[in-house]
């Protein structure tokens, strides 16, 4: 039985879930520790060079009292969960609402978690609650909708 569970898990990790395999309540998560390199690379690829992310002296004098990571860097980990874990490869990220609740700092470990909340079989749409936490504190929350391929 354990062997079949491993085979099934490995199949879904490689090929993704199909719409018919999804059940409300399914969840997946990813943990990533934010590094200075992550922040610098995100600034480079996004073009967001706000000093709050890059200049310690300026950021120290702000309400944040130090550098913070880009909010969208944390949000990007939700995309990683969707594209690689649940629903996984083959799914299409259609929409995402975001509410930023608290800053994330270099050295923080962000846990991005998605929970399947609703399924629309006619349109092959899956709705998810999304949340990112640091030390169990919510730093970002929202909702997402994805299109998920069906078994053909």
Strands 27-33 and 137-147: unpaired
Report the number of distinct structural domains present in the chain. Answer: 1
User: How does pLDDT run across 41-98, given as a tens digit for each residue?
Assistant: 999 999 999 999 999 999 999 999 999 999 999 999 999 999 999 999 999 999 999 9
- Residues 110/71, Cβ–Cβ less than 8 Å: no
Note whether residue 77 is domain-resident: yes
Q: Taking the model in full, what pTM does it have?
A: 0.88
CATH code of 83's domain: 3.10.129.10
**Tokens 């199909």 found at:** 18
What's the chain's Rg over C-alpha atoms?
17
Task: Give per-residue burial for 10-43: e unless 16+ CB within 10 Å, then b.
Answer: eebeeebbbbeebeeebebbbebebeeebbeebb
Note whether residue 45 is domain-resident: no
User: How does pLDDT run across 1-17, given as a tens digit for each residue?
Assistant: 444 444 445 555 557 89
Note whether residue 122 is domain-resident: yes
């Amino acid at each position: 039985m354990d062997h079949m569970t491993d085979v099934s898990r490995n199949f879904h990790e490689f090929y993704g879930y199909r719409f018919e395999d999804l059940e409300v309540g399914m969840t997946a998560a990813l943990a990533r520790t934010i590094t200075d390199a992550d922040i610098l690379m995100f600034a480079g690829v996004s073009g967001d060079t706000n000093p709050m992310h890059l200049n310690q002296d300026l950021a120290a004098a702000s309400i944040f009292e130090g550098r913070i990571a880009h909010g969208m860097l944390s949000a990007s980990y939700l995309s990683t969960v969707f594209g690689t874990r649940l629903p996984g490869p083959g799914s299409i990220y259609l929409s995402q609402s975001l509410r930023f609740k608290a800053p994330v700092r270099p050295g923080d470990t962000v846990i991005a978690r998605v929970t399947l909340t609703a399924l629309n079989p006619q349109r092959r749409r899956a709705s998810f609650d999304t949340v990112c936490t640091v030390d169990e504190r919510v730093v970002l929350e929202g909702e997402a909708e994805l299109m998920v391929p069906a078994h053909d």
